[in-house]
Amino acid sequence: MHEYFPILVLFIFAFCISAGMIIASALFGPRRSTPTKSMPYECGVTPTGNARNRFSVKYYLIAMLFIIFDIEVAFLYPWAVVFMDLKIFGLIEMGIFILILLVGYIYAWKKGALDWD
C-alpha cells in the first residue's frame, strides 16, 4: 500500500486547496447584488419566452442515437492500440462489430429517426 501513499497525499492536497479557495471566496468575496446580475443569462442573448418550453421527442431520440454511436466509436481506440497483437482474429471481430453498428444505423435511418422534420 505504500506505493499509493503519494496519490493519497495528492488527493488530500488537491482537496485542501480547492476547499480553501471556496472558503476564502465565500469569506472575502464581494456580495453586491445588482438587477443586472439577477437577470438570467443565456450565451449573451437576452432570454425571451418561457424557460419551460417542451422539446420534441425527436430531439431526445437524436441525442440518444448520437450518444450511442459516438460511444461505440470509442471502442475503436483500444482495438487500434492492440491491433498488431490480435492479428486476423481481431480484424474479423472488429469487422463484425462495425457491421452490427452499421445495421443499427441503417435501421434508425430507414425508420426516420434521423429526420429533423
The CATH code of the domain that includes 81 is 1.20.58.1610
Q: Using H for helix, E for strand and C for coil, what is the string for 19-47? A: HHHHHHHHHHCCCCCCHHHHCCCECCECC
Per the structure, the complete domain to which residue 70 belongs is given by 56-117
C-alpha cell at 4: 499509493
CB count within 10 Å of CB 86 equals: 13
Q: Give the predicted TM-score (pTM) of the model.
A: 0.49
pLDDT digits (tens, 9 = 90+) for 97-109: 999 989 988 998 8
Residue 85 phi, psi (nearest 5): -75, -30
The pLDDT-based confidence of 55 (bands split at 50, 70, 90) is confident
Number of domains in the chain: 1
**Within-domain flag for 86:** yes
pLDDT in tens, 62-112: 888 888 888 888 888 888 888 888 889 989 998 999 999 899 889 988 988
